[in-house]
A and B are shown apart, each in its own frame.
Chain A
């Protein structure tokens, strides 16, 4: 494993840990609204007070000066100490909130929502990607190794799904389900829908690799020493497809995150107030987030980081995964 891959894996584990630990990381319930603090900017922790003295980490409370202009001022006459590990990793006591990454249009803490949203958005996208790749790899392996009618049948089904416009298929499939679903049901439905839409591309790629690799000397040698089809596929041919599957993962993961955003936007994904990253980005767009409240783009940064982590974790130069390089 290369250093880059190792870094990627560590970051991926860290990301997953953050998602799992979201309730502990988030200072507030992601749905909690501080209606007096819409579009509050991030509140920077301080260790030096206005008089120049060192203090334990604290923040200055924010005061809304002009609601329509969304202008806040720090109230430097008071300090609110940050408390470590008291129900959440870091939080403040009292009625006044601390927005480490700012607040959104309804005064909800962006950090809490991004942390909670990681579970939903990454969970849906990751699980959808894994299942799509697993199904695609299995179908591609069978089609590529067996050939004949199995290949024809599986690839016609894959072609059928591929030629359908993906987003409309997703919309139609989700639209066929009841309008009001619990978050768990929405999660399961989205994973199912994404898996259905995502497997054909993986299947076609794996099939192509299998068709090439099954006649290579190492595969022939394996068969010559008595390896059965399952061993040849599992031990020899499937590893040859892993590089492609990693690349597919880096394509499908962000696509599914954005598909979840689109579905949430049209009312077929997670319903408010579920803090999915996609729904948060939609809010940011309608609130001119990029210009007036750039902290609302935090979910976009989270999505980019997630994709980067996946790409880092993909062992691009591993000779086992890229046999062509080895040759």
Chain B
């Protein structure tokens, strides 16, 4: 997978398996109501409605509303659920699964689903010419799954190697209609299919809604899929909503203002920033919104150094002691109190306490200790040689590095706090706020000292995130795509992760992953400081919302969402 995609891609940081049940202060509801329109905001303009080629958050959101998978990971319970496949059996080797498709399922244009559509979907996602961003999430040890179809309602999936998460991989693959997209695929124009102009009104999907209209810069309108297959507990057809409108908002400030004004019901990329909390609490007190505390976030921002490119004049940037000193020098509580207004917890590694199943308490921690930081730095020859209070290296040059980060948001603020804290420890830091493309370009070219950025977690199981953990991974951000492990500790993590994904027992997997976290914490290729507490606000009229820590935090179960005033509400 190209690095550009990897950077934008969801980094699944092996986070919590079970998110806690939301502690909602939602008002009591009287049960689902049929009809009506839900209005959500979309933070960025979609580039395409084809999830096989577009990895953006906008494409992810429309995909959640319009497509379906063979199996689904329930984002709230983390259980694997039958979805388009109503059941499956596994062979004794644990690598071969036979799935039976649910009868009576049809695409939104009325064409029945068959195993041919599943085979077609796999063929497309593995097509080397397409370079689908979904492909890496559907490989085991870099190899594709083997898929066959003995009959129209049966699919046999064989994993190329032992892989404990098994069928969870299939949650990454939306099943697309062969009858509609095969001509484009054969003609080599699949990447243009389901675009912004030729998608709305023509896409055939298996999800609860279909894209019916798109107005550039304004909104995407989705209407109920008349052939959707799910029914609720009482046997009533889903979805409850007639329409979902995704209003395109330019930035999070605009989203919050629209929610405040009542012109949207929720934000599709839903979590609140700390500075928005006071406003939302006032709205909640006025009875306008529901505020839900979902738990500790599972995708904290990370500071990583460029360990792939050696800088002879500043060799200390690649030393483990230097990174450990930074970990000690930064007062995480200061970041929690100022940047996050108390709505965060200190963290020391990529797996946060919000990740209850996989988080290890035994991973190293780095309490704020400037004296210890200075001792570590002195141990690698970085001391104050001219009495100006700042450290110098052996040649007398000041100890200095730059942090590239995203401008104008909480990352830039955090980087500024880190800058001040490191100044107190004698390290000069230049914070360089940039936009994402500029950061990605510098990351890909290796022309940076360090980067402070964050990635969206897309799964809880660390085995679903090998691109991050393995030294060969494209999302191994500090030194991606290594031919062979550059360091002994990376080699050890590679070995442990290979054992971890193959171990059949969850206790063994947890033990192995705890060892991985320990090694990671000792060597600190990435420095983690805080994980935010995730709060989500929805308009009081929204029902059926089950906010979770993983994106899409609310729209992951769109077919059971409803608006309490239903069809009686004025069309918005």
Contact = CB atoms under 8 A, between A and B. Distances in A.
B408 A69 contact: no
Interface string B245-272: 0000000010010000000000000000
A67 interface: yes
A179 B432 CA distance: 8
B416 A272 contact: yes
A153 to B, nearest CB: 37
Interface stretch (B21-29, B167-175, B337-345): B337-345
A31 B275 CA distance: 21
Contact of A67 (B256, B279, B341, B412): B341
Contacts of B276: 288
B419 A68 contact: no
B365 interface: no
Nearest to B433: A267
Contacts of B274: 68
B338 A106 contact: yes
Nearest to B438: A267
Given A69-B277, A271-B431, A272-B415, A35 B341 contact: no
Nearest to A179: B432
Given A68-B281, A69-B281, A271-B433, A105 B275 contact: yes
A287 interface: yes
B512 to A, nearest CB: 38
Interface string B299-341: 0000000000000000000000000000000010111011101
A36 B423 CA distance: 19
A273 B420 contact: yes
Interface string B401-438: 01000011100110111011001000000111111001
Contacts of A291: 279
Contact of A273 (B253, B342, B419): B419
Contact of A33 (B253, B420, B435): B420
B277 A272 contact: no
A128 to B, nearest CB: 22
B236 interface: no
Interface string B431-452: 1111100100000000000000
Nearest to A283: B413
Nearest to B341: A67
Contact of A266 (B256, B342, B423, B433): B433
Interface string B25-69: 000000000000000000000000000000000000000000000
B278 interface: yes
B275 A67 contact: no
A152 B464 CA distance: 67
B192 to A, nearest CB: 30
A18 to B, nearest CB: 25
A285 B250 CA distance: 14
Interface in A26-50: 31-33, 35-36, 38-39
Interface in A93-117: 105-107
A267 B409 contact: no
Contact of A68 (B277, B333, B407): B277
A33 B413 CA distance: 11
B432 A68 contact: no
B432 A105 contact: no
Contacts, number: 97
B342 A67 contact: yes
Contact of A179 (B341, B402, B417, B435): B402
Contacts of A292: 275, 278-279
B253 A286 contact: yes
A105 B415 CA distance: 13
Contacts of B420: 31-33, 106, 273
Nearest to B343: A68
A107 B338 contact: yes
Contacts of B256: 288
Nearest to A70: B278
Contact of A267 (B341, B343, B434): B434
Contacts of A248: none
Contacts of B438: 267
A106 B413 contact: yes
Contacts of B339: 38, 105-106
Residue from B335, B337, B343, B431 with most neighbouring chain A CB atoms (10 Å): B337
B430 A271 contact: yes
A272 B334 contact: no
Contacts of B402: 179-180
A179 B417 CA distance: 20
Given A33-B420, A68-B341, A288 B407 contact: no
B337 A266 contact: no
A38 B337 contact: yes
Interface string B377-408: 00000000000000000000000001000011
Nearest to B448: A179
A32 to B, nearest CB: 8
A322 interface: no
A107 B415 CA distance: 15
Contacts of A286: 253, 275, 408-409
A67 B336 CA distance: 10
Contact of B253 (A38, A67, A285): A285
29 contacts: A31-B420, A33-B334, A35-B334, A35-B337, A35-B338, A36-B338, A38-B337, A38-B338, A38-B341, A67-B343, A68-B274, A68-B341, A68-B342, A69-B278, A70-B341, A106-B413, A106-B420, A179-B432, A180-B402, A266-B407, A266-B435, A271-B432, A272-B419, A273-B419, A273-B431, A282-B408, A288-B256, A288-B276, A288-B279
Interface of A: 31-33, 35-36, 38-39, 67-70, 105-107, 179-180, 265-267, 271-273, 282-283, 285-288, 291-292
Interface of B: 253, 256, 274-279, 281, 331, 333-335, 337-339, 341-343, 402, 407-409, 412-413, 415-417, 419-420, 423, 430-435, 438
